[in-house]
Amino acid sequence: MLTLCAQEQIDNSKTTCSFILHLKANYYKMKKILLVIPIILLLAFVGCQNQVQEQILPRIIFDTDFGGDADDLGALAMLHGFTNNNECKLLAVMLWTNEKYAVSAVDAMNRYYDNPNVPIGVRAGGTHVSETTHNKILADNFPHELSYGDVPSTTELYRKVLAENDDNSIVLVAVGPLLNIKLLLESGPCSFSPLSGKELLHKKVKEMVVMGGQFPRGEWEWNFNGDMPGVTKYVFEHIDLPVVFSGYEIGVKIKTGNVFNDIDKNHPLYIGYYHFSEHASWMSEYFVEGRITPNATYDQTAVLYAVRGGVGKWWNKVDGGFCKPDNDGGNVWVEGDKTNHSYLKLIVEPEEMANLIDSLMLIDVNLNIPE
């Protein structure tokens, strides 16, 4: 029979052991919690970092006469490459052209680059068919779901996208004639916004990048003419936004596309550029069977500036004046006080820029992303 003292010692030992076991169990629980906390904090930090990165990425609306020249195709490929490389966010593609297969071709490109949800807007007024564009051949060779009748007008889509984004957050890259911008400026309040088109444009767009004109002076350039007299003049008389121009004189010197002869023949850039080399009236005389002819590189320069800048690296920005367009596709740079207009002036050799842009159009097949 145990003495009272011995029983107390046993009870105390049991209590001590129980307490130690309790501490040990809680220790392992706390250890697990302490291990989890840094992971939670890390995930929260990454989430915040991604939100910040999302906010500072250039948010691009791309307004294009897609199909009219191969450079629009190359520029869209660059934008998808930049998007997939987390260098920009492509908000929408606005089509100046109403060529029948343009929507399907752009939809095919969006899907090819795994960005099927990028919305597309079209200029209202019916369609036409052009055998020289690369639109139909892209639509014939790549999966797509949309056609002209499936998408909204550019005015409607502009108003929707502008209204949904933060103030002063959008870079509008225009690489075709500017009728879509004119129609937006003339638009009134709608279900997306009570603001006029002019008010909405100035509230949401922080910069326009325009491929068009010739600097310091040009007699005629397609994007400033577009067979639509007075449109360019109207636009620049009714906007007060920062505008950077990449003129004809830059892109005409930069010849790209020869590298596409060495890529997969089922790539959209090969198919599109090859078709254009063979069928475009100003290209066909140089066409050699089985070979893509190097093409001028207008629109890609505007995209490159919009996403990566490059002032002092690839070009200088000339200011101290403003661009004055006429009614018929000409323009002149009027020197004077600094305004919100400027234009790019290439400071590297055209061949160097061509090599860079060739690589950027092929981000999806390049192992190293060119800087």
- What CATH superfamily is the domain 58-361? Ribonucleoside hydrolase-like (3.90.245.10)
pLDDT, tens digit, for every residue of 243-262? 999 999 999 999 999 999 99
Q: CA dist 224 to 74, 227, 248, Å?
A: 21, 9, 11
Give the contacts of 26 (CB within 8 A, at least 6 positions apart).
none
Q: What are phi and psi of 167, to 5 degrees?
A: -60, 145
The greatest distance separating any two alpha carbons of the chain, rounded to the nearest whole angstrom, comes to 119
- pTM score, whole prediction: 0.86
- Residue 60: pLDDT above 90? yes
Block residue for tokens 């297969």: 101
Q: How confident is the model at residue 46 (pLDDT cuts 50, 70, 90)?
A: very low
Burial class (CB in 10 A: 0-12, 13-18, 19+), 295: buried
* Per-domain residue ranges of the chain: 11-56, 58-361
Q: What are phi and psi of 201, to 5 degrees?
A: -60, -45
pLDDT top residue among 31 and 194: 194
What radius of gyration, in Å, describes the C-alpha atoms of the chain?
29
pLDDT > 70: percent of the chain: 85
